[in-house]
Structure 1
Amino acid sequence: MPAPLKQLLARGTVLSVPGIYDGLSARLVELAGFEAAFLSGACLSFARFGRPDMGLVSAAEVAESVAVIRERTELPLIVDMDTGFGNALNVKRTVATFERAGASALQMEDQLMPKRCGHMQGKQVISSGEMVGKIHAALDARHSSDTLIFARTDALGVHGFEDALERAERYLEAGADAIFIEAPKTVEQMQIIGAQFGRRTPLIHNLVEGGNTPVQTLEELQALDYRIALYPASLLHLFIPAAQKMLAELRHSGHLQSMRDQMIDLTAVNSLLGADELLAASEEYQYE
């Protein structure tokens, strides 16, 4: 049984958390030896719906994905709940639904709906007071205190660094279990964030290829007093060019013989996903 998320965060070292979007990606992350996974709202929108991260995925669709992934893995699952899908009352229902589906932690941001990717231009944020109310609603709605509430602010790219710090302070005072100041622009800003919050609460950072990410390694984050390193889209950022290369070869040559050494086969996929274990389990139900 994997360690609970609270226990992992109490160790004082950086927790590396890849982004996932379905049962296969969850299985790959688990087999690779990671201790937690992040259901990225962006990647769910990319992979399942073929849409950009612009608030087009519904709460029900996320909840269904949480349930599917939870059936496949026991890893602690951090779930991106965007803005909570509405006001404080919507937040209460979202938290209850996602927790029931199997979320270990819920990450909520202070963007104005419809939200967009934190590394895109044109974001808007709600007032810090409204977000504080939504944090209280989330805390009231959770069934277990082991279900963590992570508060993210996107204010840095909208109102500037000082406003982001002030909001983070208010969100921590409201009871958030971790703080996430999205898209700092420089290492110096991250040093200030770490100095102000790092000894008081787990700090989260997104390492997004092509986004605003001043650092690249877990060692750098550790030195800055951060505790959670999210790699929300790395799997897809690798998968997409590989898929494009394969499709181009198939379209051009009509076969994939030149790429077979880069691919696994059906037998390997079944082994990866536990087909033998399922077949063995089914024998328990064979009666004469």
Structure 2
Amino acid sequence: MQSPKKLKELLARRAAVTVPGAANAMFARVIEDIGFEAVYVTGAGIANMYLGVPDLGLTTVTEVADTVARISDSVTLPIIADADTGFGNPLNMVRTVRLLERAGAAGLQIEDQVFPKKCGHFSGKKVIATDEMVQKIKAAVDSRVDNDLQIIARTDARAVEGFERAIERAHAFVEAGADVIFVEAPLTVDELARIPREIPVPHVANIVFGGNTPDPGRAKLAEFGFSIVLYANAALQAALKASYDVLSALHRDGDLQAVGEKLASFKERQRSVAKPVWDELESRYRVNG
């Protein structure tokens, strides 16, 4: 676990730092092992992998906090936690911030959808009034213990009220105390370019493979002025595809000979969960005699 100050410094660089998402500690360890600078605890990923359901607001704050805590225990990266809508009204937001900060989050993403929310790239979304979201942001800011804990305010208004209204909401969120802005699901590269230009705070770009937002590439997003670029469920989608491929072959052939190259080796698997570290601990605390 890293302090929120580390995430704050990363955001201030405005370098479009790539931040993959993890739904569990294993994925988070892979993200750290590869060399990424931060990890995003994905609410959609928790819904998909923990519950086996779509991202429709079915997870609870305690389930998210439990996942954040497990990841915090497993990696040293700063953690951005997907706090959805705060799981209710401003009072729920107070509890959500306290739980997730205590669990190890360095930043919290909160959004202006009606509770229960939907995936930002699903149709049929609804947003709460701007004034209601402003009060949630104020509750989040007031509830954090460490003033460096980053409050990332997301608006889903692009799909509901249009791009200009989304920009207006983002300005209001900054005035309310949000540290970072996240305009979800812009539809064009021109819209992406306008967001950091018109709102002078750090920004998040969310790139969903197969989603609504075009991916102009990291260099262009850095040129626009984005601080981080989320690939929230790339690991999940890759694992799901590989699981179907490997298990289908196993079902068809009765063995793994045709798909062996798709599997991590036994050695790679143990290294990814730091087995040598645990071996050393076991040796250190072994009872002699």
Bigger shift: 78-87 or 267-276?
267-276
Q: Which residue of 1 aligns with 2:56?
A: 54
Q: Which residue of 2 aligns with 1:227?
A: 227
> How far, CA to CA, are the matches of 1:32 and 1:216 in structure 2?
23
Residues 207, 216 of structure 1: 8 Å contact kept? no
Counterpart code for 2:260 = R
Residues 14, 226 of structure 2: 8 Å contact kept? no
> How far, CA to CA, are the matches of 1:182 and 1:128 in structure 2?
15
> How far, CA to CA, are the matches of 1:259 and 1:190 in structure 2?
40
Q: Which residue of 2 aligns with 1:97?
A: 99
Bigger shift: 166-175 or 11-20?
11-20
Q: Which residue of 1 aligns with 2:283?
A: 283
| TM-score of the two chains, using structure 2 as the length reference | 0.96
Q: Which residue of 2 aligns with 1:261?
A: 261
Q: Which residue of 1 aligns with 2:12?
A: 10
Counterpart code for 2:280 = A
SS at match of 1:53: coil
Unmatched 5+ stretches in structure 2: none
- Change in Cα spacing, 1:187 to 1:271, as seen in structure 2 (3 Å) is closer
Q: Which residue of 1 aligns with 2:116?
A: 114
CA-to-partner distance for each residue in 1:200-245, whole Å, 9 max, x for gaps?
2111110101111223311111121111100011111111111111
Q: Which residue of 1 aligns with 2:238?
A: 238
Counterpart code for 1:247 = L
Unmatched 5+ stretches in structure 1: none
Cα shift at 1:146: 1.6
> How far, CA to CA, are the matches of 2:204 and 2:272 in structure 1?
31
Counterpart code for 1:180 = F
Percentage identity across paired residues of the two chains:
42
SS at match of 2:160: helix
> How far, CA to CA, are the matches of 2:81 and 2:185 in structure 1?
19
Residues 184, 190 of structure 1: 8 Å contact kept? yes
Q: Which residue of 2 aligns with 1:77?
A: 79
Counterpart code for 1:223 = E
Cα shift at 1:163: 1.0
| TM-score of the two chains, using structure 1 as the length reference | 0.96
CA-to-partner distance for each residue in 1:122-171, whole Å, 9 max, x for gaps?
00000000000000000011000121100000011001111111100000
Matched, 1:125 2:127: yes
Counterpart code for 1:185 = L
Cα shift at 1:265: 2.9
> How far, CA to CA, are the matches of 1:157 and 1:213 in structure 2?
11
> How far, CA to CA, are the matches of 1:17 and 1:212 in structure 2?
19
Residues 194, 225 of structure 1: 8 Å contact kept? yes
> How far, CA to CA, are the matches of 1:33 and 1:41 in structure 2?
23
Residues 111, 154 of structure 2: 8 Å contact kept? yes
Number of aligned positions between the proteins:
286
SS at match of 1:4: helix
Q: Which residue of 2 aligns with 1:38?
A: 40
> How far, CA to CA, are the matches of 1:175 and 1:59 in structure 2?
22
Bigger shift: 266-275 or 133-142?
266-275
> How far, CA to CA, are the matches of 1:72 and 1:89 in structure 2?
30
SS at match of 1:205: strand
Cα shift at 1:282: 2.0
> How far, CA to CA, are the matches of 2:193 and 2:285 in structure 1?
59
Q: Which residue of 2 aligns with 1:24?
A: 26
Matched, 1:88 2:103: no
Counterpart code for 2:181 = I
Q: Which runs of 4+ in 1 moved over 3 A?
A: none
Bigger shift: 68-77 or 273-282?
273-282
Residues 13, 227 of structure 2: 8 Å contact kept? no
Matched, 1:156 2:158: yes
Q: Which has the higher contact order (CA 8 A, sep 6+)?
A: 2
SS at match of 1:29: helix
